[in-house]
Amino acid sequence: MNLFDSVLEIAKGGELVSSYCEKCEKYVWPPKYYCNYCNSKVLFKIVKREGRILAKGYSNIPGKKGIFAVGEFNGIRIIGTIKDKMMVGESIIMQEIRVTNGRLDIIFVSSST
């Protein structure tokens, strides 16, 4: 099992994890065995569910049509599905973390609801 397969396996349980460097106090995404900044060995750490929307757009990909956003969580950026009325800069929460067709499938909701 490779590193990202481990991330997907944990995501099936509803948690998102990533590599984390204790020396730099930074997450590494996509997950790697060594820190991008100092090349130290990293460990897995749960990513907090609270973040904010950096950008949003519309997908025309068959089977994945809809509104999506790039969310920032603990310094890492992840794509997830959102509702139409959500705005860039809005505080969000990863409401649902799952795996669909071997990929992360995350739903963001406003933290004010």
Residue 4 gets which letter from DSSP? H
Residue 36: which residues within 8 A CB-CB, separation 6 or more? 28
The neighbouring-strand residues paired with 52 are: 72, 91
Rounded Cα distance between 69 and 22, Å, is: 28
User: Residue 16: what pLDDT?
Assistant: 97
The pTM is what?
Answer: 0.88
% residues pLDDT > 70 (the chain)? 99
User: Residue 52: what pLDDT?
Assistant: 97
Rounded Cα distance between 104 and 18, Å, is: 13
How does pLDDT run across 11-66, given as a tens digit for each residue?
A: 999 999 999 999 999 999 999 999 999 999 999 999 999 999 999 999 898 877 89
User: Residue 1: what pLDDT?
Assistant: 72
- pLDDT of 100 over the 80 cut: yes
Q: Which domains does the chain have, with CATH numbers?
A: 3-46 (no CATH), 50-110 (2.40.50)
What is the pLDDT of the chain when averaged over all its residues? 93
User: Residue 113: what pLDDT?
Assistant: 60
pLDDT band at 84 (very low <50, low <70, confident <90, very high): confident
Q: Cβ of 35: how many Cβ atoms within 10 Å?
A: 19
DSSP string, 49-64: SEEEEEEEEEE-STT-
User: Residue 96: what pLDDT?
Assistant: 96
